[in-house]
Structure 1
Amino acid sequence: MKKICVVTGTRAEYGLLSNIMFEIEKSEKLILQTIVTGAHLSEDFGLTYKEIEKDGFRIDEKINILTKNNIPVNTATSLGLAVIGFSTAFEKLQPDLILVLGDRYEILAAAETALVMQIPVAHISGGEITEGAIDDSIRHAITKLSAIHFPANEEYRHRIIQLGENPTYVFNVGDPGVENIHKLNYLTKEELEEFFGYKLENTFLTTFHPVTTEKSSIQQLENLFAALDRFPKHLVIFTKANADNEGREINKLIDAYAEKNKERVFVYDSLGKIRYLSTLKYSVAVVGNSSSGIVEAPVLGIPTVNIGNRQKGRLQANTIINCDATVESIYKALQQAVLYKQDSSREIDLKYNGMNTSTDIIHVLENLEFKDLVIKKFFDQ
């Protein structure tokens, strides 16, 4: 039996990992270990580790790394705390492989710790580009620290190989977010309305994260508020920002905006995977700068108003409306999204697929010999 240690630090990341975690538990060849860190353990970001426990998973280790203020020097401190925490956790758990997803600094800490401790890393969602965030560089760094790669499509697979990774260990398995869309047991509109306590009519599902390569996140958010004010008959459901620099400040401003607009603006720390994607299904548009607007929303045929540069560089379907982070540009994009939703005849050019992503990943992990992956060689094309 091979011990697979899954590391997660955010609600969004866990939503993509959960199916894979269930499949690991079902496997007769693998043992699941779980380490939880980052925003999962913070009251400011909803203590979302409870969602993991609610799903029935045992959390083997919790690593607290967040400081009170998300400014660059404190994020760097959190990175150091994460390395210390992972070194202790890995020594205790003795995993055969570390499984990580994405592009966050706490995941970078897990990967670099594993490298030094000679534990191979498998990385999901490498090869992508997000020019508006430091996550872009972090993602590529994790790729170079990893021995096994599970990109979302063939273009991203090719980019990983460009970075010198052996094609033998780069597997195009599709996107776990798309798999969620295809396999989820959705809540009905009536069930959602019972939970929310209001009717889901003309709803903008909105998430705005810090733009970590720019210093204008707060102004961009205020511009978004001003644009949303021009749609007084639309509901706005906010899910809060992540734990990056300015994340807490953004969430305070969202709370204040909702307080001023109690009749139509509602805020949630986390909706969880099922409730979030079910709400997405009944929304007019996804608004903000989250990857869910790039990957998941198009599969459901829901238009996306993608604000600013945070997701710049990712492959995009023709349901995505890109706009600058000015009031007028956001307003025009929202207008376009409302009209788009009324046009059901449009053919959607999807860029991401994923029907069996989790089982394909498990098949690879069950059949690869991990001890051969500790020492990597650069692959020259």
Structure 2
Amino acid sequence: MGNFTIVAGARPNFMKIAPIIHALQDQQKKGLSVKYRLVHTGQHYDKKMSGDFFEQLGIPDPDANLGGGGGTQAEQTAAIMVAFEKELIENRPDLVLVVGDVTSTLACSITAKKLQIDVAHVEGGIRSGDLTMPEEINRMVTDSITDHFFTTSEIANTNLRNSGFSENKIHYVGNTMIDTLLAQMPRFNKPEGEIFDALKAGQYFVMTMHRPANVDQEHKLKAMVDAILEGTKGLTIIFPVHPRTAKNLQAIGIDAPNLKMTDPLGYLEFNYLVKNAKCVITDSGGITEEASVMNVPCITLRDNTERPETINLGTNELVGTDPTKLKPFLEKVMKGEWKKYQGIPLWDGKTAERIVSILMEKYPD
């Protein structure tokens, strides 16, 4: 049967590949001789990504860590490509499977294709239309050389068709991130600490901000946080803070008793908070997917999104990066008048099974 190399470069990537590994393991338990190697490019160093992290996800430690972290985007891309080329020459697969839109996705797909190895892209066809985002360039370049697209929505399918890709390359399967969310939901747990002990379900906000457009200009960051504090009417706001953002917040002297800044949280703890929140305020794409499926109101502080299905069928609203636009959305949340999750097709927890079924069909030998 098929021999696959699965690539992950950052924590969210592992959430996306975990169900695919489980589905491959299920095939092995049936006695099929399918093989896979899990390669961590080392793009993001994260002290939380210990053995416990892989154990929580129920996946083995990576077979290889390429150590491609640090440096500029170009340096990182180059380091990953050099190391991944060596990995593929030593362990040549039938297909390399990449996920999402990080530097590793781009670097490893290019390396594989230059060695004439097929590439499958999980989350293929996603587009924001914003070329100022490195992720958009990663998506476009990866998709331009991909052999099999595993897509999350009909919108992604349309994007690929409009780019001239043939129907037999496009496989509409759903969202593996939601496979992980639904599988892990029974294990969500409240973080430890006084801040969290005091929380009541539906009576607090969760906030994440990391994009340069929101956090790198001090006056703009202050205006956004002030608008959020005003609109949330004294309710607790849990804000797991990226170190760069924490530094900028200290510089502008934000001090509000209901704004609780915490260290970054683990997957099970963070999603416990989201599931029980009144609303999520974020500039992350992945969180909009998870909040939608958990039917939690979601306000996105971006001018565009690569996940429009979270707006059309989910609980997400695109508010933009102008703090003056925030007030009516927060008023809606406070009045309990937010839209409900309508259900996004194939976001049902069975996406990885569909992916592996297609891989087995395409690579039977």
TM-score after normalising by structure 2:
0.83
**In structure 1, what is the equivalent of residue 260 of structure 2?**
265
CA distance in 2, matches of 1:232, 1:257: 21
CA distance in 2, matches of 1:131, 1:267: 33
CA distance in 2, matches of 1:251, 1:65: 26
Inter-CA distance 255–94: structure 2 relative to 1 (3 Å threshold): farther
Residue 270 (structure 2) aligned to one of 269, 276, 279: 276
For the 8 Å contact 1:97–1:370, the answer to whether it is kept is no
**In structure 2, what is the equivalent of residue 376 of structure 1?**
none
Please give the residue correspondences for 1:192-341 in structure 2 after superposition, counting only pairs within 5 Å.
192=190, 194=192, 197-201=196-200, 202-211=203-212, 217-219=216-218, 220-230=220-230, 231=232, 233-240=234-241, 249-250=244-245, 252-253=247-248, 260=255, 264-272=259-267, 274-311=268-305, 314-315=308-309, 316=311, 317=313, 319-339=315-335
For the 8 Å contact 2:5–2:97, the answer to whether it is kept is yes
Aligned-residue sequence identity (percent) comes to 17
For the 8 Å contact 1:193–1:199, the answer to whether it is kept is no
CA distance in 1, matches of 2:22, 2:296: 28
Offset, 1:165:
2.3
The letter for the 2-side match of 1:298 is: S
Q: Could you list the per-position Cα deviations for residues 168-216 of structure 1 after superposition, in whole angstroms to 9, with x for gaps in the alignment?
A: 121100112333444434346xx415577523332222222325xx697
The farther-off stretch of 24-33 and 248-257 is 248-257
Inter-CA distance 50–318: structure 2 relative to 1 (3 Å threshold): closer
CA distance in 1, matches of 2:270, 2:141: 30
For the 8 Å contact 1:218–1:250, the answer to whether it is kept is no
How many pairs align? 350
For the 8 Å contact 2:206–2:239, the answer to whether it is kept is yes
The letter for the 1-side match of 2:97 is: L
CA distance in 2, matches of 1:363, 1:13: 21
Offset, 1:257:
8.7
Matched, 1:101 2:99: yes
The letter for the 2-side match of 1:67 is: G
Offset, 1:361:
0.5
Inter-CA distance 4–251: structure 2 relative to 1 (3 Å threshold): farther
The letter for the 2-side match of 1:250 is: T
Q: Could you list the per-position Cα deviations for residues 26-63 of structure 1 after superposition, in whole angstroms to 9, with x for gaps in the alignment?
A: 222422311113454245xx546751255341211112
Inter-CA distance 228–16: structure 2 relative to 1 (3 Å threshold): same
CA distance in 1, matches of 2:167, 2:253: 49
What are structure 1's unaligned runs of at least 5 residues? 69-73, 242-247, 372-381
Q: Could you list the per-position Cα deviations for residues 55-96 of structure 1 after superposition, in whole angstroms to 9, with x for gaps in the alignment?
A: 34121111223336xxxxx11211111111211222232222
CA distance in 1, matches of 2:259, 2:245: 19
Offset, 1:268:
3.2
SS at match of 2:149: strand
CA distance in 1, matches of 2:113, 2:191: 47
The farther-off stretch of 256-265 and 132-141 is 256-265
SS at match of 2:190: helix
**In structure 1, what is the equivalent of residue 347 of structure 2?**
354
Matched, 1:60 2:63: yes
Inter-CA distance 112–298: structure 2 relative to 1 (3 Å threshold): same
CA distance in 2, matches of 1:293, 1:166: 31
Offset, 1:358:
0.8
Please give the residue correspondences for 1:174-189 in structure 2 after superposition, counting only pairs within 5 Å.
174-187=174-187
Please give the residue correspondences for 1:162-173 in structure 2 after superposition, counting only pairs within 5 Å.
162-173=162-173
Q: Could you list the per-position Cα deviations for residues 308-367 of structure 1 after superposition, in whole angstroms to 9, with x for gaps in the alignment?
A: 22526733236323223233323443333233xx348x5544445422101000101111
The letter for the 2-side match of 1:91 is: I
CA distance in 1, matches of 2:64, 2:324: 47
TM-score after normalising by structure 1:
0.80
Q: Could you list the per-position Cα deviations for residues 88-146 of structure 1 after superposition, in whole angstroms to 9, with x for gaps in the alignment?
A: 22223222211111112221001000011111111111112223423123212111221
Offset, 1:234:
2.4
The letter for the 2-side match of 1:122 is: A
**In structure 2, what is the equivalent of residue 23 of structure 1?**
23
**In structure 1, what is the equivalent of residue 41 of structure 2?**
37
> Deviation above 4 Å: which 4+ runs of structure 1?
46-50, 193-197, 214-217, 254-264
**In structure 2, what is the equivalent of residue 13 of structure 1?**
13
SS at match of 1:294: helix
CA distance in 2, matches of 1:210, 1:87: 31
RMSD of aligned C-alpha atoms? 3.1
Inter-CA distance 347–283: structure 2 relative to 1 (3 Å threshold): closer
Inter-CA distance 283–160: structure 2 relative to 1 (3 Å threshold): same
